[in-house]
Structure 1
């Protein structure tokens, strides 16, 4: 597996993995109607730009299998998604370790993220802390329960 900087040509695959992972992992944690709105529509220009500017992808056999976004100014992690066909192979953990290394190289003191309810346990296993349930306002107009989390980086 290789993790590399994403480019605009990866955006559609990242968008597809995002939708597949949301539908696969978030079902039962959020109402089906919210999942439908969350994953509706097509690839937007803003998403392409975000992937190009802050995105990383995991590649296995020339196939993008996972994504992660990291804002190197704020330490915000987002869109860590693994294609359901590749889940359970440690790809998400490897992506998180890769993003943490990038953050350390950039001199960031911590990483922050808003976890979906189903992913909070995963992020805790990656060293993040956070228990409080908050409300996340999605770009699609949804209000979703989330768990704000932080990981202080060791130097």
Structure 2
């Protein structure tokens, strides 16, 4: 399938929110309790997405003009990387990460870091990220990973 990757706009906030919430509630639920999922979900309402759009470089991937994935770059940290469950395993996440890596290299960064969910740890490892450490926010475990960039 052909995906268009572009910068997100304010008008995309509701669709970005839906994509993230679908991924959290269908994919991440296998590794996190319902309580943690709902706690994380509160950070991705449409108004919260609008705020993130003003602070980070947010990308979306579309298929047939529908947003199917999103990711953002916050300095050298990849944040809010989510793929709609119906599109997982079809290369869209990899394409988004390649675009973020290209943006990071063009910005002169020599490393990317990602606070990964347990669910996505294998995905990031397949892209060359290595586990640095675990962090805990209450009961929520996040895997901190990093990858050196070739300039």
TM-score under structure 1 length normalisation: 0.87
Q: Which runs of 4+ in 1 moved over 4 A?
A: none
Cα deviation code 1:52-93 (max 9, x no counterpart)? 54200001111111000012xx21101111111211211001
Shift of 1:135: 1.6
Give the Å deviation of 1:109: 0.9
Distance in 2 between residues matched to 1:55 and 1:65, nearest whole Å: 14
Displacement of 1:46 after TM fit? 4.1
- 2:141 is matched with which residue? 145
Please state how far the C-alpha of 1:96 moved relative to its aligned partner.
Answer: 0.5
The residue aligned with 1:139 is none
For residues 3-152 of structure 1, the aligned pairs below 5 Å read 3-40=5-42, 43=45, 45-52=47-54, 53-71=56-74, 74-130=75-131, 132-136=133-137, 144-152=140-148
SS at match of 1:37: helix
State the distance in 2 between where 1:45 and 1:148 align: 27
1:14 to partner: Cα distance: 0.8
Q: Which runs of 5+ in 2 are unaligned?
A: none
Segment drifting more, 43-52 vs 7-16? 43-52
**RMSD after superposition:** 1.8
* Alignment check: 8 A CA contact 1:134 1:148 kept: yes
How many aligned positions are there?
A: 148
Distance 1:46 1:39, change over 3 A: closer
- Judged with a 3 Å threshold, the aligned counterparts in structure 2 of structure 1 residues 33 and 14 are, in CA distance, closer, same or farther, namely same
Distance 2:108 2:20 in 1: 28
> Displacement of 1:51 after TM fit?
2.7
